[in-house]
Structure 1
Amino acid sequence: MNQIPLFIAVLCFFVMIIGEILAYRSVPIKYKYEFEAISFGFILGVSTLILIPKAYFKMYAIYVIFGCIFVYLIEKYLSFCPMSKKYCLDCNNLELKNIKYIYPISFFIHTFIDGVVIAVSYISKIGLPLYLAILMHKFPAGFVLISPLKGVYRNPLSIGIIISLGTIFGTIFGLVVLNSIDPKILLAFSGGVFLGAFLMLVPHIYEHKKEKTLTYLLFGYSLAGLISIFS
Structure 2
Amino acid sequence: MMNSIYALISVVIVSIISVIAAIPLFYKKKVSQKLLLFLLSISVGVLLSTVFMTLLPEAMEEGYSLGIAINILFGFLVMFVLEKFVHWHHSTKHEHDDCGHGHAYNLAPVNLIGDAIHNFIDGLVIAGSFAVDVTVGITTSISIIFHELPQEIADFGVLLYSGYSKKKAMLFNFISATTAILGTVVGILLADTAFHFEKFILPFAAGTFLYISATNLLPQLHRHCKLKETFQHMLAIILGILIVLLLTIYGPAHLH
TM above 0.5, one fold? yes
* Match for residue 188 of structure 1 among 162, 181, 203: 203
2:75 and 2:40 mapped to 1: Cα distance? 21
2:44 and 2:192 mapped to 1: Cα distance? 27
TM-score by length of 2: 0.76
> Is 1:46 paired with 2:39?
no
User: Is the 1:44–1:198 contact (alpha carbons within 8 Å) kept by the matching residues of 2?
Assistant: yes
Gap regions ≥5 residues in structure 2? 88-102, 252-256
Residues 56-65 or 3-12, more deviating: 56-65
Question: What is the CA RMSD across the aligned residues, in angstroms?
Answer: 2.2
Q: CA deviation at 1:26?
A: 2.2
2:192 and 2:119 mapped to 1: Cα distance? 20
> Is 1:66 paired with 2:74?
yes
1:161 and 1:202 mapped to 2: Cα distance? 23
* Match for residue 174 of structure 2 among 154, 161, 176: 161
2:170 and 2:181 mapped to 1: Cα distance? 17
Q: CA deviation at 1:208?
A: 4.5
Q: How many pairs were matched up?
A: 217
The answer to which structure has the higher helix fraction is 2
1:1-231 matched pairs, under 5 angstroms: 1=2, 2-26=4-28, 28-30=30-32, 31-56=35-60, 57-59=64-66, 60-78=68-86, 95-125=103-133, 126-151=136-161, 152-154=163-165, 155-180=168-193, 181-182=195-196, 183-210=198-225, 211-212=229-230, 213-230=233-250
Q: CA deviation at 1:207?
A: 4.2
1:195 and 1:179 mapped to 2: Cα distance? 27
Bigger radius of gyration: 2
1:143 and 1:202 mapped to 2: Cα distance? 14
1:162-219 CA-partner distances (Å, limit 9, x unpaired): 1111221111121123432422332111111111221111233214443223332233
TM-score by length of 1: 0.83
Look up the equivalent residue of 1:147 and give its one-letter code.
Answer: G
- Provide the secondary structure at the position in 1 that maps to 2:23: helix
In 2 relative to 1, CA 20–110 (structure 1 residues): closer, same or farther, beyond 3 Å? same
- Provide the secondary structure at the position in 2 that maps to 1:136: helix
Look up the equivalent residue of 1:71 and give its one-letter code.
Answer: M
- Provide the secondary structure at the position in 2 that maps to 1:165: helix
User: Is the 2:119–2:179 contact (alpha carbons within 8 Å) kept by the matching residues of 1?
Assistant: yes
- Provide the secondary structure at the position in 2 that maps to 1:137: helix
1:52 and 1:159 mapped to 2: Cα distance? 34
2:17 and 2:26 mapped to 1: Cα distance? 15
Taking only the aligned residue pairs, the percentage that are identical comes to 24
1:148 and 1:139 mapped to 2: Cα distance? 15
- Provide the secondary structure at the position in 2 that maps to 1:127: helix
